[in-house]
């Protein structure tokens, strides 16, 4: 009988270096031109999704470490975010600090008015499309709105409210907006998303009203009434701001203390 004898040196090496799955490779730091855009997008996402709460002090070094970037693009991204309203400078007697912009009724009213105007223009474009295209878009919008109605009636998943509502509005914008309008909408929409995500669960009792507003928008698209579609979208956002304002009155503004 042959007996295989292991090499003690090899055995020792195997014990010192056991086979295992290598750790995930850490993202390499990008050059400034690309990392600036990445830093802006990633910090904005942290803010929009509430992982950087309203009123939070922004520590540049901590963000750079979190994103595995040098401080130069992070600093530039913070100033970019400040220009777009996600970050503000908070001053006191001794110094100033950058903080995540608070969520206030005044800010919400302004944002909702702006996005209502932008989407209203896109809505006019949808209403002016050929009938066959309008009807197909209306069919897709109705399907989304029916899912919102199911939630309002208590038979749907309330956790899907935000995504469904955003899909409804995004479909209108994608279908009726040109390149410049799309760019403008993409700049303002994430700022309204901050409010939607934080307060959406508290607005569910008014969901039937929002569904009815959507139905009037769809009816305008089917009939090709550009004025009705534009007015309907503006009203949907205006009433949304009012509904949001009532919730803020109850729960308070975020980050403005």
The predicted-structure confidence for 1-52, as pLDDT tens digits, reads as follows 444 444 444 444 444 444 444 444 444 444 445 789 999 999 999 999 989 9
CB 195 within 8 A of CB 104: no
- In whole angstroms, what is the distance from residue 176 CA to residue 225 CA? 14
Q: What is the CATH number of domain 31-100?
A: 1.10.10.10
Q: Note the pLDDT of residue 8.
A: 45
CB 229 within 8 A of CB 220: yes
CA-CA-CA-CA torsion for 164, 165, 168, 172, nearest 10 degrees? -150
Q: Which residues contact 144 (CB under 8 A, 6 or more apart)?
A: 164, 167, 168, 171
Q: Residue 106, Cα to own-chain centre: how many angstroms?
A: 19
- In whole angstroms, what is the distance from residue 48 CA to residue 39 CA? 14
* Domain segments of the chain as ranges: 31-100, 105-251
Closest Cα to residue 74, out of 98, 50, 51, 53?
98
Tokens 């990445």, located at residue: 38
The residue-averaged pLDDT of 80-102 equals 89
Q: pLDDT tier at 256 (50, 70, 90 boundaries)?
A: low
Whether residue 173 is predicted with pLDDT greater than 50 in this model: the reply is: yes
The residue-averaged pLDDT of 119-124 equals 98
Q: pLDDT tier at 202 (50, 70, 90 boundaries)?
A: confident
- Cβ atoms within 10 Å, residue 107: 18
pLDDT digits (tens, 9 = 90+) for 125-141: 999 999 999 999 999 99
**CATH homologous superfamily of domain 105-251?**
GntR ligand-binding domain-like (1.20.120.530)
């Amino acid at each position: 009988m042959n007996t295989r004898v292991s090499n003690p040196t090899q055995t020792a090496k195997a014990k010192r270096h056991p086979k295992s799955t290598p750790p995930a490779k850490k993202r390499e730091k990008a050059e400034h031109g690309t990392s600036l855009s990445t830093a802006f997008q990633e910090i904005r996402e942290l803010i929009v999704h509430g992982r950087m709460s309203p009123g939070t002090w922004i520590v540049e070094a901590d963000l750079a470490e979190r994103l595995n970037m040098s401080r130069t693009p992070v600093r530039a991204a913070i100033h970019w975010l400040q220009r777009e309203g996600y970050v503000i400078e908070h001053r006191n007697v001794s110094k100033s600090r950058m903080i995540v912009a608070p969520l206030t009724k005044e800010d919400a009213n302004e944002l909702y008015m702006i996005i209502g105007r932008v989407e209203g223009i896109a809505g006019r474009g949808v209403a002016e499309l050929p009938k066959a295209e309008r009807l197909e878009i209306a069919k897709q919008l109705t399907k989304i709105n029916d899912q919102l109605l199911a939630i309002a009636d208590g038979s749907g998943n309330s956790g899907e409210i935000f995504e469904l509502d955003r899909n409804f509005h995004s479909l209108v914008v994608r279908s009726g907006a040109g390149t410049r309008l799309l760019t403008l909408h993409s700049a303002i929409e994430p700022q309204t998303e901050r409010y939607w995500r934080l307060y959406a669960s508290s607005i569910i009792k008014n969901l039937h009203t929002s569904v009815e507003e959507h139905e009037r928008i769809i009816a305008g698209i089917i009939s090709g009434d550009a004025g009705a579609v534009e007015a309907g979208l503006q009203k949907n956002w205006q009433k949304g701001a009012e509904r949001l304002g009532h919730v803020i009155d109850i729960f308070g503004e975020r980050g403005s203390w």
